[in-house]
Amino acid sequence: MGPYETISDRLEVFVRMSIPYSLLCFLFLLSVVSVPYPLSALLHAPLLLIAIYYWSIYRPALLPSWLVFGIGLVLDLLTGLPFLGFNAVLFLLCRLAVIDQRRFLTGQTFSVIWLGFCLLSVLFHLLQWMMFSALSMQIVPVSDFTSPLILGVFVFPLICLFLHLSHKALPPPIVRAKSRLGSQKSNMVL
Amino acid sequence: MRRHISKIGGRKGPGSFAGVLSFPSFGVSGLSGLLIAISIFFLLLSALRPQVLTSVRVGTADAFAPVLRVVSMPLQKSAVFVRDITGLAAIQAENARLVEENIKLKEWYQTALLLEAENKSLRELMNLKVDPQNTYITARILSDSNTNFVKSLLVSAGSDAGVEKGQAVIAGGGLIGRVVEVGVKTSRVLLLTDMNSRVPVIIEGSRQHAIFAGKNKRNGVLVHMPPDSEVKTGARIVTSGLGGIFPTGLPVGVIQSIDSAINVQPFADFNRLMHVRIISKQVDPNLRPGVLESVNP
């Protein structure tokens, strides 16, 4: 018998799984909604990049590439960016870069994770600046990209705390493993 | 007790070493590669043929409008609350300034009444044709670009409220931009501080024509002016109405400083906007829509 076969178990899994997705949805809405000063200053931080970074390290299956693509695409459409797919391609590249370094980042201390985000954020904003300058065929001032970069680095611990709390609410992952005695697959909750 | 174990699925690249930061190999899985290719296709399409994606953009904004309306309201109220409780000293100072300003404005009000009466009688004497009064559509701001390299707003009024592409938008005492996309329930406003925005203006006093150009900062600059033009700090800038997009005489800003460029500070405070007013295009009674008649051989 599998790990989540009763209705109550499935309901529990559904409720637990909805917590990080609700948080992700909230971060997305914060990234597009209009809020006057002083809260507007905080919302310039790359909140979705923090979420993508966190889940790509600790639970990549929760945020698959198609979902990252969808988030980026809808973000482009709602924020009125003249270039559709701009955030989608950047988010996908960041997800790939983080998953590539997962072996190193998993199990590291928070300060190393934070430093990793700083590096990723620098790369993200540098790439953003290069792409935007190339597509708009003019050199956009670098200062336009530095304030969200700095803000993101400072906001990271706070957002990370909420992401960590939602992570703790998640059910443990199901590891599909081959049985020793045959080729039949079995589900295990570790 | 169940234990959280993260399944390590990192691909071992040629430069990888357990526990040590490996060289990024950026292994692209099939789906990720396909999605990146689709994104790049959209990027190129929106750069080369931007009008193709306008309907998608407008449709998405309309679809998300109810959610954004619900979410933005408590956030806007909480922002105002935070601003109020953290700025008591500023409010006191502002109150004192407003009391003084009110006394001066009362004097100006009396003068304006006199001038209005005088103007009316002079117009009647000269049989002068007066421009029709502007009508407004008030809308709430639902979303903004939240980035420093694009300055635009999504507002809660669309074609069903009579909004049309190209209409001027004002708020907070001055012009803030123009409508660039119109959906059924929402419209997108390109702010005048966006680097792609150009507004034909006139400098009050000298009657010098110029173009107000945004530069993605709080202030904009005046361009396309003759080198010998007389410009003074503190001069008011208003729309000239050239080109027919903006009505004449809308307040834009004030010249803040003159160095290598003429810097203009807009009257509108973009950080505190919650509502905007869209100016309906004036209908010229002397013009009527043309009818294209088919010519039968």
Total length of chain B: 297
Q: Do A140 and B36 touch (CB under 8 A)?
A: no
Cβ contact, residue pair A78, B64, below 8 Å: yes
Helix H or strand E encompassing A132: helix A110-136
Beta strands, E only, chain A: 174-178, 185-189
Strand, coil or helix: B223:
strand
Of B244 and A65, the structure prediction assigns the larger pLDDT to: A65
Query: Residues 27 to 66 of A: which have CB under 8 A from any B CB?
Result: 29-40, 43-44, 58-60, 64-66
pLDDT one-digit tens code per residue, A13-61: 888 888 999 999 999 988 888 777 767 777 778 999 999 999 999 999 8
Which tokens hold the place of B4? Answer: 């959280």
Q: What is the pLDDT of residue A185?
A: 46
Q: What is the arithmetic mean of pLDDT over B285-297?
A: 57
In a mutational test of the B interface, the residue from A16, A33, A63, A73 whose CB has the highest number of chain B CBs within 10 Å is A33
What whole-number distance in Å separates Cα of residue A150 and Cα of residue A46?
Answer: 10
Cα angle A151-A152-A157, degrees, rounded to a multiple of 5:
110
The predicted model gives A65-70 an average pLDDT of: 94
What is the least distance, in Å, from the CA of B107 to any CA of chain A?
33
Which tens digit of pLDDT belongs to each residue from B103-119?
A: 888 888 888 888 888 88
> Mean pLDDT, chain A, as a whole number?
84
What residues form DSSP beta bridges with B257?
B263
pTM: 0.77
For residue B265, the distance in angstroms to the closest alpha carbon of chain A comes to 18
One-letter amino acid identity for B202? I
Instruction: Please compute the mean of the pLDDT values over residues B36-63 and round it to a whole number.
Output: 88
B57 in reach of chain A (CB within 8 A): yes
* Secondary structure (3-state) at B14: coil
B18: which chain A residues are within 8 Å (Cβ-Cβ)?
103
Is residue B199 classed as helix, strand or coil in its secondary structure?
A: strand
Would you give the distance in Å from CA B11 to the centre of its chain?
46
Rg (CA), chain A: 19
As a whole number, mean pLDDT of residues B111-136 equals 77
Task: Among A21-30, B8-17, B80-89, name the one with the lowest average pLDDT.
Answer: B8-17
Amino acid at B243: G
Tokens of B230: 């007389």
- What confidence tier does A90 reach under pLDDT thresholds 50, 70, 90? very high
pLDDT band at B15 (very low <50, low <70, confident <90, very high): very low
Q: pLDDT tens digits, residue range B93-105? A: 888 888 888 888 8
- Hey, are the CB atoms on A36 and B83 less than 8 Å from each other? yes
d(CA A106, CA A132): 32
pLDDT for the residue numbered A176: 54
A20 vs B127, residue with greater confidence: A20
DSSP helix, strand, coil percent of chain B (3-state; round to 5) = 35, 25, 40
3-state helix, strand, coil in chain A (%, to 5): 70, 5, 25
Residue B86 burial (10 A CB sphere; 0-12, 13-18, 19+): exposed
Distances (CA, A) of B265 to B93, B145, B207, B211, B278: 22, 21, 19, 14, 21
| Interface probe with A: pick from B34, B55, B146, most Cβ of A within 10 Å | B146
Task: Say whether pLDDT at B217 is over 90.
Answer: no
Q: What is the pLDDT of residue A157?
A: 94
Place B22 in a pLDDT band, splitting at 50, 70 and 90.
very low
Distances (CA, A) of B138 to B163, B171, B276: 10, 10, 6
Q: Which helix (H) or strand (E) holds A176?
A: strand A174-178
Q: What is the mean pLDDT of chain B?
A: 79
**A178: closest CA among A188, A169, A168?**
A188
Phi, psi angles (nearest 5°) of residue B251: -65, 130
* C-alpha radius of gyration, chain B, whole number: 26
Count the neighbouring beta carbons within 10 Å of the beta carbon of residue B19. Answer: 9
Residue A175 has pLDDT above 70, yes or no: no
Residue A100 at interface with chain B, using a CB cutoff of 8 Å: yes
Higher pLDDT, B160 or B74: B160
Q: What is the structure's pLDDT at B6?
A: 39
The residue of chain A nearest to residue B81, with distances taken between CA atoms, is: A38
Q: Please give the share of chain A, as a percent, with pLDDT higher than 70.
A: 88
User: Inter-chain contact B149–A135, Cβ cutoff 8 Å?
Assistant: no
Tokens of B59: 């449709």
pLDDT band at B146 (very low <50, low <70, confident <90, very high): low
pLDDT of residue B3: 42
* Angle of helix B30-48 versus helix A65-79 axis, rounded to 10: 20
Higher pLDDT: A118 or A177? It is A118
Average pLDDT over residues B171-187: 88
Distance CA B289, CA B296 (A): 22
Binned at pLDDT 50, 70 and 90, residue B284 comes out as low
Residue A183 banded pLDDT, cuts 50, 70, 90: very low
Q: What is the pLDDT of residue B76?
A: 78
pLDDT of residue A66: 93
Instruction: Give the pLDDT confidence score for residue B1 in this predicted structure.
Output: 37
pLDDT digit string, tens, across residues B62-74: 998 888 888 888 8
Please indicate if any CB of chain A lies within 8 Å of the CB of B70.
no
Distance (Å) of CA B236 to CA B60, B116, B201, B253: 39, 22, 10, 6
Residue B127 tokens read as 């049989």
**Min Cα–Cα distance to chain B from A95, Å:** 9
Can you tell me the mean pLDDT for B251-275? 86
Contact (Cβ atoms closer than 8 angstroms) between residue A101 and residue A82: no
Q: State the pLDDT confidence band at A4, using cuts at 50, 70 and 90.
A: low
Question: Rounded to 5 degrees, what angle do the CA atoms B136, B141, B145 make?
Answer: 125
CB contact under 8 A, A172 and B3: yes
Q: 């400098």: which residue's tokens?
A: B203
pLDDT of residue A156: 94
pLDDT at B232: 84
**Collapsed DSSP state (helix, strand, coil) of residue B88:** helix
Give the pLDDT mean for B217-240.
85
User: Could you tell me the pLDDT band of residue A171, with boundaries at 50, 70 and 90?
Assistant: confident
Place of tokens 């905007």: B276
Per-residue pLDDT, averaged over A118-146, amounts to 88
Beta bridge partner(s), residue B242? none
B32 pLDDT exceeds 80?
A: yes
| Structure ipTM | 0.81
Relative orientation angle of helices A65-79 and B54-86, to the nearest 10 degrees: 80
